[in-house]
Amino acid sequence: MHWQTTRFSIDLARPQVMGIVNVTPDSFSDGGRYSSTRAALAHCEQLLAEGADILDLGGESSRPGSPPVPLDEELARVLPVLRDAVKLGVPISVDTSKPQVMRAALAEGADIVNDIWALRQPGAMDAVAAHRSCGVCLMHMHGEPRTMQSLPMQGDAVPQVLSFLQDRSAALLALGVEPARIVWDAGIGFGKTVEQNFALLARQSELLTGGYPLLAAWSRKSSLGTVTGLPVGERLVPSIAAALLAVERGARIVRVHDVRQTAAALKVRAATIFEAQQPGNGNPP
């Protein structure tokens, strides 16, 4: 299975680590440590050295209660970083919901559009469909960032998320977008209760029936804090545990803050799989 993007056909046989680069002053997890262009680029290089396969640049916080960022401000945050990031030799994703930012980022060579709104903003779907080959990650979100956690979705989240992502994908296909360009994200923490989030992990195989690769984004999420009692800065271990569980259940990309530790954990998993497949270890030669 491959994910077709602007410059890369990403082989998903090995789980891919997507490193998060928040070019924002108000991120819930890093408090704006990388909001300057220089700091963000240095962080990009650090994440690559730690084992990131993909970099995800975001200029607008999507934490619960966050206000929207004006278009000009988001462009000013993202584009200077993007122009140098595309020279680093790895796929670059831009985390945005604004069609104007999508077009500008794709014009600068971005490989992937990662949209928490699943291209529901006016013009967003056309911006992606007009591009010849960019990848796109469609995420499920109930409500919108300012109110999503005060008014979470009701009922069984799994079939609702599956139906939503199927509908959004079908709309893209109708515009001529190839299926190989599309990845799904269940939207952990976006308008869902703690129980619903963990149901999406426990029953992740039901989402695989849609036929698209899954991206899992559990890193430092509040649901992990709820079940462990740990503050955001101390959620490394539960974040890695959730990433590994997601990969075991079929996720092909994990979007994380802690790249070095997650990549190391995935190498341990890969070693056990390799060893189990060797002749003499319970499998025929």
CB-neighbour burial class of residue 248 (10 A; exposed 0-12, middle 13-18, buried 19+)? exposed
Show which residues are catalytic. 221, 255
Of 160, 156, 161, 179, nearest to 169 by C-alpha is: 179
d(CA 215, CA 138): 9
**Angle between helix 37-50 and helix 259-276 axes, rounded to 10 deg:** 20
Indicate the Cα dihedral angle 91, 197, 116, 45, nearest 10°: -30
d(CA 41, CA 35): 10
DSSP per position, 139-166: E--SS-TTTTTTS---S-HHHHHHHHHH
CB 283 within 8 A of CB 56: no
Would you put residue 187 in left (φ > 0), alpha (ψ -120 to 50) or beta? Answer: left
Please give the C-alpha separations between residue 139 and each of 95, 97, 164, 180, 272, in angstroms, as whole numbers: 11, 11, 9, 16, 31
Beta pairing partners, 93: 56, 112
Residue carrying the six token digits 């271990």: 237
